[in-house]
Amino acid sequence: MTPLRKAAASVTGAAAVLLTVAAAPQAGATDWRPGVTFYTGAQQGGAAMSADLDAVGVCRELPAPAVSYLAVSDRNVDVFFNPGCRTGAPGGTGDLAYRTGTLNAGDFPYPAVSYRVRADAD
CATH number, domain containing residue 64 = 2.60.20
pTM: 0.73
In a domain, 16, yes or no: no
Reported as type and span, the H/E element at residue 5 is helix 3-23
- Note the pLDDT of residue 11: 42
DSSP string, 69-87: EEEESSS-EEEESSGGG--
What percent of the chain is predicted at pLDDT more than 90?
69
Residues 58-104: pLDDT tens digits?
A: 999 999 999 999 999 999 999 999 999 999 999 999 999 999 999 99
In a domain, 17, yes or no: no
Domain residues for 94?
28-117
Give the Cα separation of 6 and 101 in Å (integer): 37
Centre a 10 Å sphere on the Cβ of residue 77 and count the other Cβ atoms it contains. Answer: 24
In a domain, 107, yes or no: yes
In a domain, 59, yes or no: yes
In a domain, 67, yes or no: yes
In a domain, 58, yes or no: yes
In a domain, 69, yes or no: yes
What is the domain count for the chain? 1
